[in-house]
Amino acid sequence: DRVIFKGIVPFTKVPDYLSASDIGISYIPLDSPQNIQPPLKIPEYLANGIPVIATKTIGNKMYIKNRYNGILMNDSIKSIKSAIVELVNKCDLKIMSRQAENSAKKFDNILIAKKLKKIYKDVRNNVK
């Protein structure tokens, strides 16, 4: 009674759904071609302080630190069920939510641009 399957929603409505969410799920089969590339929804969930349950793909592991900002799972029904139950019943969602939001900060475009600017200046100063 607390899960909503909406399918595709307009981009303008995504913030409404994110603000109403306590957890996010990112299921990608482990043998999928998308194993390497994480979906955009993971950093969106994290930036909004939403802990993520995600399959243990290479891409998802770049964002999710198990039991810190989410839970990594296998792609079996049993594993998904177990991860949902663990996150809802055994984890402190307030703490994990803060950790999720903090973990997304390193992917902030402004911080990345500042790092690139510093690198550019260092290179420029060392080129003769």
Which of the four pLDDT bands, split at 50, 70 and 90, describes residue 87? very high
Predicted local confidence at residue 128, as pLDDT: 66
By percentage, how much of the chain surpasses pLDDT 70?
98
Residues 46, 21 contacting (CB under 8 angstroms): no
Count of residues making up the chain:
128
Residues 6 or more apart in contact with residue 91 via CB below 8 angstroms: 51, 67, 71
- C-beta of residue 53 within 8 angstroms of C-beta of residue 41: no
Helix (H) or strand (E) holding 71: strand 70-73
How confident is the model at residue 10, as a pLDDT? 92
